[in-house]
């Protein structure tokens, strides 16, 4: 007879905090709260979705959130699992003074200073990323300025590594390389043999950047993900499985801004 205690099923409730609807999940001894967004539409059923650590409830035109509660309770385990996964994901930088940002596998400390010109200035000074923001400018101008700075460094960093692996493959001609700003892909190779690498890779350690380069170059010989393709990747990057896993685990935050 198995006397082990099964894990209690999580419970969920909808509450109102400061005038906003909130989902409360009690899972074992942990109590978590998440914002709730309600969307009405021309539909007959209730739907649930998770977006940026919030629960989105899709309702028929005349329904209200309380009517969705029984359905939400049926999905308690699913909500606890997936919202918990969101909580555990690496967080993107907040760009506050004294905070840190990933740069080639290391961390730079952000230093915010008053601006000297009308635009935002970004420069690296050793282990610091100095960002000069004009007086009166909102904090929202900082992320795009840092993105532009990173992208400006990326191609010069990628090219020597790209050329080196292309030579190892004995390619008759080094393919053209450009940058992408994709939010879900680290790189791409099209039917013309043109390769793009995401500038956001500049946040990753060099070993992970090299894996993406090898991955895209391998598509020049095998335009698929079959065994022959992975054999080429393994020849260039023997521990590619570990690198691919690390990129998947750590890359969520890098792609999020």
**Judgement on whether residues 239 and 166 belong to the same structural domain of the protein:** yes
Q: Residue 116 has what pLDDT?
A: 87
* Residue 208 domain flag: yes
**Judgement on whether residues 60 and 75 belong to the same structural domain of the protein:** yes
Q: Residue 1 has what pLDDT?
A: 47
**Judgement on whether residues 117 and 189 belong to the same structural domain of the protein:** no
Residue 35 in contact with residue 24, Cβ under 8 Å? Answer: no
* Residue 1 domain flag: no
**Judgement on whether residues 69 and 122 belong to the same structural domain of the protein:** no
Q: What is the DSSP letter of 251?
A: H
**Judgement on whether residues 163 and 200 belong to the same structural domain of the protein:** yes
* Residue 117 domain flag: yes
* Residue 95 domain flag: no
Name the domain boundary from 88, 111, 133: 88
Q: Residue 6 has what pLDDT?
A: 57
**Judgement on whether residues 56 and 104 belong to the same structural domain of the protein:** no
**Judgement on whether residues 242 and 162 belong to the same structural domain of the protein:** yes
Residues near 219 by beta carbon (within 8 Å), at least 6 away in sequence: 189, 195, 229
**Judgement on whether residues 206 and 185 belong to the same structural domain of the protein:** yes
**Judgement on whether residues 168 and 232 belong to the same structural domain of the protein:** yes
Measured between alpha carbons, how far is 95 from 142 in angstroms, rounded to an integer?
A: 7
Measured between alpha carbons, how far is 41 from 62 in angstroms, rounded to an integer?
A: 9
* Residue 174 domain flag: yes
We report the CATH number of the domain holding residue 169 as 3.30.2010.10
Express each pLDDT in 120-174 by its tens digit: 999 999 999 999 999 999 999 999 999 999 999 999 999 999 999 999 999 988 8
Q: Please give the residue range of the domain that contains residue 107.
A: 100-143
**Judgement on whether residues 18 and 119 belong to the same structural domain of the protein:** no
Q: Residue 134 has what pLDDT?
A: 94
**Judgement on whether residues 41 and 65 belong to the same structural domain of the protein:** yes
* Residue 93 domain flag: no
* Residue 6 domain flag: no
Distances (CA, A) of 257 to 54, 102, 143, 195: 18, 12, 8, 22
Measured between alpha carbons, how far is 198 from 254 in angstroms, rounded to an integer?
A: 10
Q: For the chain, list residues with pLDDT below 50.
A: 1
**Judgement on whether residues 31 and 84 belong to the same structural domain of the protein:** yes
What are 70's two structure tokens?
């029984």
Q: Residue 16 has what pLDDT?
A: 80
Q: Domain total for the chain?
A: 3
Measured between alpha carbons, how far is 201 from 203 in angstroms, rounded to an integer?
A: 5
């Amino acid at each position: 007879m198995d006397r082990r205690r099964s894990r209690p099923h999580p419970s969920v409730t909808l509450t109102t905090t400061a005038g906003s609807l909130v989902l409360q999940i009690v899972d074992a001894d942990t109590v978590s709260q998440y914002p709730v967004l309600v969307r009405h539409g021309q539909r007959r059923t209730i739907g649930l979705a998770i977006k940026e650590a919030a629960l989105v409830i899709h309702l028929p035109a005349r329904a209200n959130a309380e009517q969705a509660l029984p359905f939400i309770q049926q999905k308690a385990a699913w909500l606890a699992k997936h919202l918990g996964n969101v909580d555990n994901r690496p967080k993107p930088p907040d760009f506050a003074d004294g905070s840190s940002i990933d740069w080639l596998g290391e961390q730079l400390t952000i230093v915010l200073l008053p601006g000297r010109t009308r635009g935002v200035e970004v420069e690296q000074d050793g282990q610091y990323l100095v960002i000069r923001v004009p007086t009166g400018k909102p904090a929202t101008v900082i992320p795009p300025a840092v993105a532009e700075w990173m992208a400006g460094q990326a191609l010069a960093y990628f090219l020597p590594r790209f050329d080196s692996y292309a030579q190892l493959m004995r390619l008759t001609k080094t393919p053209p390389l450009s940058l992408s700003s994709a939010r879900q892909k680290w790189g791409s190779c099209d039917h013309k043999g043109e390769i793009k690498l995401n500038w956001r890779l500049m946040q990753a350690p060099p070993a992970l950047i090299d894996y993406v380069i090898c991955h895209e170059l391998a598509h020049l010989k095998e335009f698929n993900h079959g065994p022959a393709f992975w054999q080429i990747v393994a020849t260039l990057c023997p521990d590619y499985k570990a690198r691919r896993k690390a990129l998947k685990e750590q890359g969520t935050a890098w792609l999020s801004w």
